[in-house]
Amino acid sequence: MSLRLGDVAPDFTADTTQGKINFHEWLGDSWGMLFSHPADFTPVCTTELGKTALLKGEFEKRGVKTIAVSVDDLESHNKWVPDIEEVNGVTMNFPIIADEERKVAELYDMIHPNASAKATVRSVFIIGPDKTIKLMLTYPASTGRNFTELLRVIDSLQLTANHSVATPADWKDGDDAIVVPSISTEDAIKKFPKGVKEVKPYLRYTPQPNK
């Protein structure tokens, strides 16, 4: 099954390092980041899970729950966790899904046979409180993810979900946003009291509305 932006994120029940969960119930009204790992006891994954644990406060500030998935079993995950904690100087503070039967991997199309017939690629799904997929990213197994970029994207998604703006290239939290084309400049001036700067009739900037 091929997932697309705006689709409802497939629900599932699974064992994790923090107990059995039903995914949609576990998400509740939060945003979520589900991200896959090729295998336990692999070097890149060890750094990525550690980084996520280190950034727990940043994800919480944005109302985002994080959850990882690997096609190894729960016993393997529990043996791996001490390595993650030791290498990164962290306490593992989010669950890892045990997906040895590849149910979650198949639901989310995380196995790409031309890359690896068995291991999952590095997929990332950002899911909104309405349980729909807001962002999908796929990295090869050899490339670790940029978690600063994932936080930046979440900032953009949350801003643009609540205000009539888009974010330009290389935007980061606090930068000016772009007024969406569906709003006239006249209406934009009324809607955005901090000001509107017109570069082109279709390209208008305004200070970030939620700052």
Mean pLDDT in each 10-residue stretch from start to end of the chain (211 residues)? 90 97 98 93 94 97 97 94 97 95 90 63 92 94 92 98 96 97 95 96 96 87
- Catalytic annotation present for 153: no
112 burial via Cβ count (<10 Å: 0-12, 13-18, 19+): middle
Alpha carbon distance 88, 86 (integer Å):
6
Q: pTM above the 0.75 mark?
A: yes
Q: Count of CB atoms within 10 A of residue 192's CB? A: 20
> Which phi and psi angles does 72 have, rounded to 5°?
-90, 170
Alpha carbon distance 42, 114 (integer Å):
20
Give the model's pLDDT for residue 39: 86
* The one catalytic residue among 9, 27, 45, 141: 45
